Amino acid sequence: MRLKAIVGMDEETRVKYREIYNKLKEFWKTEFDQKYLNLTVICEEGTLRRENGHAQFTCRGKLKEQYRHFTELELSMIADNGFSHFGGSSNKSDDGSFSVTIYVD
């Protein structure tokens, strides 16, 4: 999926994204006793890779079976610990493999 830039979102989308993000933060607090979202705890050991490029970063990995319910949008929020970015892309396969690219300033 193509990710929307925060500067290009209408208010309705921003409210919807904030609700999704708040639910993720609550899940992290309950499930992992952690304040910040991160991909490390939901990926199979040794599969997570982060690549930094010019004005972007990409995370690739494979989700543990019990966390394969996360959507492409949720994975992007977990990778970015939010949704305040300039867009990007997020893809997830049935086997739990994923790739998230976030455009940053």
pLDDT digits (tens, 9 = 90+) for 40-49: 999 999 999 9
The candidate with the shortest Cα–Cα distance to 92, out of 104, 79, 81, 105, is 79
Q: What is the pLDDT of residues 11-29, one digit of tens each?
A: 999 999 999 999 999 999 9
CB 24 within 8 A of CB 77: yes
Q: Cα separation of 52 and 14, whole Å?
A: 26
The contacts of residue 8 (CB under 8 Å, 6+ apart) are: 87
The answer, as to whether pTM is greater than 0.85, is yes
